[in-house]
Copies of this chain bind each other. A is one copy, B any other.
């Protein structure tokens, strides 16, 4: 497959601004660890307030960064005056997320004029070892003329 290209040269700036406007990402302590055309990673360090009853990082946090990374991977390929919304996703939780941090790596599988399909894998990093803990497939829709700014 040939490399994906961004239509908007300022896509990274646009993504970082949008991400910083998501209070929930701050709540869970997530950050953008990679922003490239068709590829976005989101990382979240372990913290007590994002755990479940066994002390692992909550599946809801794993799902949230998987979906959100997929959204920005799709968003990296569209025009600045458009936006994207998640239509649906399917997430397999492969193993509990334990360790220092989790990271979602989203890659666009199939960019489209209306719909974009993204694969988003989440790994946990525990004492230097990486374990794939979840895998998602996400379908997103482009919202034409619907800018991602609050006042847009």
Contact = CB atoms under 8 A, between A and B. Distances in A.
Nearest to A148: B53
Interface of A, helix, strand, loop or mixed by DSSP: mixed
A150 B90 contact: no
Contacts of A23: 48-52
Interface residues of A, number: 52
Most buried by B among A53, A95, A148: A53
A75 B68 CA distance: 28
Interface stretch (A3-11, A31-39, A81-89): A81-89
Count the copies. Answer: 4
A110 B51 CA distance: 24
Contact of A53 (B21, B28, B117): B21
Contacts of A61: 24, 60, 64
A2 interface: no
Interface string A60-72: 1101110110000
Interface of A: 18-19, 21-24, 26-28, 48-55, 58-61, 63-65, 67-68, 85-96, 109-110, 114-115, 117, 119, 132, 135, 137, 139, 141, 148-150
A52 B48 CA distance: 22
